Amino acid sequence: MGTPDIAVHTEPKVLAAAAAARLLTRLVDLQAAGNTPKVVLTGGGVGIAMLEQIRETVARDAVDWSRVEFYWGDERFLPSGDPERNETQARQALLDHVRVDPAKVFPMGADTGTGPAGADAAAAEYAQLLAAAARPEDHGPVPSFDVVLLGMGGEGHTASVFPHSPAVYETERTVVAVHGCPKPPPTRVSLTLPAIRKAAEVWIITTGEAKAGAVALALGGAGEVAIPVAGARGRRRTRWLLDRAAASKLPRDMVPPIG
């Protein structure tokens, strides 16, 4: 897995635009090689801003969106169409504006009136979906995602895997229900760290001084139980895309020139 790649940009809007350009380039390269890219989307301010940047650039038309598979790293367990769902926000930001193949868009389950108890069934169903999508060459119960996009919280959570929570100790299941989240809404569905680590590339995109401490701990070798984002690694590449504020507590020799 090697040393993480770190890129630092001046402020959040520049970071979102740079991340959008990187993702477009990766998708074009994968399709040029004859592959159908498998991308795991994230929510959060900068994750959605990145999708909006893709929507607004003419370079988006270099991608055949009908030949991209979309998954989610986590989801707020709310009714379908709720504005707080990551799926809803991603559709409004990008997916409703490009010619995706609906059969290649794989959202996590929504609350159909069951309340929190339904999240466990939604997690099991998503795990089954991933297992069905995995190919023999993936050597496991999830597809070999090309890019997993992740945000992170100020205390070091990523997807909906929170510090010292049951999810961070999970070693077998690929998708879990998360109950009692320390930030609302309290019930979610999330990929686990073992599922995330099946990806070829993991991109952690985050901004703000409130994240700087957790960024420094994760890149300084902290354990994933205390700082779950430290356990989010790609098989070929782990890429940290930060703004200046989020990188402010990294050792000076770790910070590349700021773009």
Q: Which of 157, 163, 149 is nearest to 211 (CA)?
A: 157
d(CA 215, CA 210): 10
- Structure tokens of 14? 């520049």
- Structure tokens of 31? 């399709």
Report the relative pairing of strands 74-76 and 38-41 from DSSP bridges. unpaired
Binned at pLDDT 50, 70 and 90, residue 3 comes out as confident
Binned at pLDDT 50, 70 and 90, residue 56 comes out as very high
User: Residues 223-247: what's their mean pLDDT?
Assistant: 97
Q: Would you say residue 205 lies in a domain?
A: yes
User: Residues 41-53: what's their mean pLDDT?
Assistant: 96
Q: Would you say residue 227 lies in a domain?
A: no
Q: Which of 23, 53, 31, 48 is nearest to 201 (CA)?
A: 23
Comparing 255 with 76, the larger pLDDT belongs to: 76
User: Residues 38-60: what's their mean pLDDT?
Assistant: 97
Q: What is the DSSP letter of 105?
A: B
User: Residues 140-155: what's their mean pLDDT?
Assistant: 97
- Structure tokens of 200? 């070829």
Say if residue 1's pLDDT is above 70.
no
Give the residue carrying structure tokens 């290649």.
Answer: 104
Q: Which of 122, 121, 143, 124 is nearest to 132 (CA)?
A: 143
Percent of the chain past pLDDT 90, that is, above it, reads 95
Q: Would you say residue 34 lies in a domain?
A: yes
Q: Would you say residue 258 lies in a domain?
A: no
CATH number at residue 215: 3.40.50.1360
Domain that holds residue 112: 5-221+232-251
Cβ neighbours around 218 below 10 Å, total = 25
Q: What is the pLDDT of residue 7?
A: 96
Q: What is the pLDDT of residue 254?
A: 87
Q: Which of 100, 111, 50, 45 is nearest to 76 (CA)?
A: 111
pLDDT, tens digit, 9 for 90 and up, residues 68-112: 999 999 999 999 999 999 999 999 999 999 999 999 999 999 999
Say if residue 259's pLDDT is above 80.
no
- Chain length of the chain: 259
Residue 247, sorted as left (phi over 0), alpha (psi -120 to 50) or beta, turns out to be: alpha
Q: Which of 228, 210, 211, 230 is nearest to 220 (CA)?
A: 230
User: Residues 229-251: what's their mean pLDDT?
Assistant: 97
pTM assigned to the model: 0.96
Q: Would you say residue 187 lies in a domain?
A: yes
Q: What is the pLDDT of residue 255?
A: 82
**Helix axis angle, 86-93 to 45-56, nearest 10°:** 20
- Structure tokens of 103? 């059969």
How many distinct structural domains can be found in the chain? 1
Percent of the chain past pLDDT 70, that is, above it, reads 99
Q: Would you say residue 40 lies in a domain?
A: yes
Q: Would you say residue 259 lies in a domain?
A: no
CA dihedral 220, 251, 246, 259 (to 10 degrees): -120
Q: What is the pLDDT of residue 88?
A: 98
Q: What is the pLDDT of residue 2?
A: 67
